[in-house]
Amino acid sequence: MLRSLSVGRFRWLAIVMGALLLFQTCTFGQEMATDAAAAVVEAAPAGPAPVPDETSSSVIANTVWTLIAAMLVFWMNAGFATLEAGLCRRKNSVNILAKNFVVFAASSVAFWFVGFGFMFGNDGDNNFVGTTGFMPSLLASDGNMYLSLAWAQVPVSVKFFFQLVFAGTAATIVSGAVAERIKFGVFIIFSFVLVAFVYPVTGHWIWGAGWLGDALFHDFAGSTVVHSVGGWAALAGVLILGPRLGKYGKDGKINPVAGHNMGLAALGTLILWLGWFGFNPGSTMTASTQIGHIAVTTNTAAAFATMTACATAWLVLGKPDLGMILNGCLAGLVAITAGCAVVSVAGAAVIGAIAGILVVFACLFWDKLKIDDPVGALSVHLVCGVFGTICVGLFAAPAVMEPYAMTGYLKGAGLFYGGGTAQLIQQLIGVGAVGGTVFVASLIIWIVLKAVLGIRVSAAEELEGLDIGEHGMEGYAGFANTAVDPVDTFESPSPVMAKGVMAHA
């Protein structure tokens, strides 16, 4: 059982928060002096651009950098796979690895067929969804169908590949939240539909010359476009799917279900941390000096979030829980993703530090509501994705925006830097519009899949493990299973439990 949080522990958290705010206040004055009021600046409209000269040294440099960054983001699939497998039980390890492997293939097919066109394929006049460029050949002549990406001086094939790995990440986020009880085939179908129709529509609003981008809503690398979209889709799935057998007792007791391999989980988190240096700096799609600043803000947020999550777990739970530490790191990375190019290093430190605290309480909050998320995906990607997006309206700093020519992409500086509430309000509008759209659309998709195919494995399959029931193999064949968790104590589900589970199927 979790220990009750004592008054003394609350005092320590208050001291930590006070120190962080004092730290930000001290740095804020110095940075604000550069330009006390970053006025509202209209973004330059996206227009036709000449086809990049693929023989020029700058285009070659941009191409190499963008491809390397995209490959780092692709490698994050390995991080998600090992993290999720480690945090779940070994009887489901094959299923989790299979989902994380196949989901990128499904995303690739969906994004090529229609997703890329819906997200970027227009002439700049359609603010809701792209209407051209489906099943692209990705030849140089295709570039005029994706004018919202004209600013990136790389071949259209590179633009496609870079955007594809982001789309795949959004789908992968859902995997962990619905782990250990969802049907394999249904998950693949949902992933395909998400990347083909849901993700690209809201992505178009922000990155595809849509109405939110035109209104100067700012999400540089995807706290909302990628992470909270995946989080909202996951929340809808978890609500329709229901919790794992035995996770919550009738008396309200929360039964811990321990992961089987924390080594895999730690390795996965380190892979994701590395991948984020492609995720955020790579979003420049340009080999410029700006990538150094973005890499530092990204790392700083991750480091501070790791430390505050460790401290918060230690104070709240009585032990420095490794799972919370790992999710703390990811929380900082998700939170800084929206503002990594417009906040200072000090601002990144504060954003990360708060995210590390927030993710611990978010994990406890979902459990209180009996919303079962085996790996903490909702806390990391949804909660901290929303938080990080809002932080742009608080921490965007003129001293960073001006030298890197970012002022045209925001209404102005953040509230803490003399910019007023204009950007903050726009961030809140974007968060609400995207969140509401994705959640409702995902809820409809999950409900239809449940009615047509059923979305949950049988109670017997869940108790035995999805590796056997769904894939006919074991992840650790030949190893004796000595671990027992609250779910495995049931040799067969009781009639009441079985009825409850089948009601979700």
Question: What average pLDDT does this structure show over 237-261?
Answer: 92
Query: What are the pLDDT digits (tens) for 143-173?
Result: 888 888 988 999 999 999 999 999 999 999 9
In contact, 324 and 361? CB cutoff 8 Å: no
Whether 345 shows a pLDDT value over 80: the answer reads yes
Write down the pLDDT at residue 17: 54
Whether 401 shows a pLDDT value over 70: the answer reads yes
DSSP helix/strand/coil, 408:
helix
SS (H, E, C) 251-273: CCCECCCCCCCHHHHHHHHHHHH
Whether 120 shows a pLDDT value over 80: the answer reads yes
Write down the pLDDT at residue 477: 85
Residue 123 DSSP code: -
DSSP helix/strand/coil, 492:
coil
**Is the pLDDT higher at 332 or at 499?**
332
Query: What are the pLDDT digits (tens) for 418-460?
Result: 999 999 999 999 999 999 999 999 999 999 999 999 999 999 9
Among the ranges given (21-25, 59-63, 135-139, 322-326), the one the predictor scored with the smallest mean pLDDT:
21-25
Question: What average pLDDT does this structure show over 24-36?
Answer: 40
Query: Considering just the CA atoms, what is the radius of gyration of the chain in Å?
Result: 23
The torsion angles phi and psi of 456, rounded to 5 degrees, stand at -120, 140
Question: Of 201, 257, 253, whose CA–CA distance to 232 is shortest?
Answer: 201
Distance between CA atoms of residues 137 and 141, nearest Å: 9
In contact, 245 and 237? CB cutoff 8 Å: no
Whether 358 shows a pLDDT value over 60: the answer reads yes
Among the ranges given (45-54, 64-73, 75-84), the one the predictor scored with the smallest mean pLDDT:
45-54
Distances (CA, A) of 431 to 38, 142, 228, 391, 393: 23, 32, 9, 12, 12
Write down the pLDDT at residue 143: 81
Query: Residue 52: pLDDT band by 50, 70, 90 thresholds?
Result: low
Write down the pLDDT at residue 252: 80
Among the ranges given (116-130, 225-239, 369-383), the one the predictor scored with the smallest mean pLDDT:
116-130
How much is the mean pLDDT over the chain?
A: 87
Among the ranges given (4-13, 111-120, 360-369), the one the predictor scored with the smallest mean pLDDT:
4-13
Write down the pLDDT at residue 144: 81
Neighbours of 308 (CB within 10 A): 26
Query: What are the pLDDT digits (tens) for 267-285?
Result: 999 999 999 999 999 999 9
Write down the pLDDT at residue 469: 92
Write down the pLDDT at residue 366: 96
Write down the pLDDT at residue 41: 32
Write down the pLDDT at residue 147: 85
Place of tokens 């590796």: 467
DSSP helix/strand/coil, 207:
helix
Query: Residue 193: pLDDT band by 50, 70, 90 thresholds?
Result: very high
Whether 13 shows a pLDDT value over 90: the answer reads no
Whether 504 shows a pLDDT value over 70: the answer reads no
Distance between CA atoms of residues 390 and 335, nearest Å: 9
Query: Residue 250: pLDDT band by 50, 70, 90 thresholds?
Result: confident
Write down the pLDDT at residue 485: 54
Question: Of 224, 209, 187, 202, whose CA–CA distance to 107 is shortest?
Answer: 187
Distance between CA atoms of residues 176 and 127, nearest Å: 33
Whether 103 shows a pLDDT value over 70: the answer reads yes
In contact, 305 and 352? CB cutoff 8 Å: yes
In contact, 445 and 64? CB cutoff 8 Å: no
Query: In this structure, which topology does domain 7-35+61-452 adopt according to CATH?
Result: Ammonium transporter fold (1.10.3430)
Query: What are the pLDDT digits (tens) for 463-480?
Result: 999 999 999 999 998 776
Helix intervals (H) in 280-377: 290-317, 322-336, 345-368, 377
Among the ranges given (11-15, 319-323, 358-362, 449-453), the one the predictor scored with the smallest mean pLDDT:
11-15
Question: Of 375, 379, 476, 385, whose CA–CA distance to 83 is shortest?
Answer: 375
The dihedral formed by the CA atoms of 217, 223, 224 and 227, expressed in degrees to the nearest 10: 170
Query: Residue 124: pLDDT band by 50, 70, 90 thresholds?
Result: low
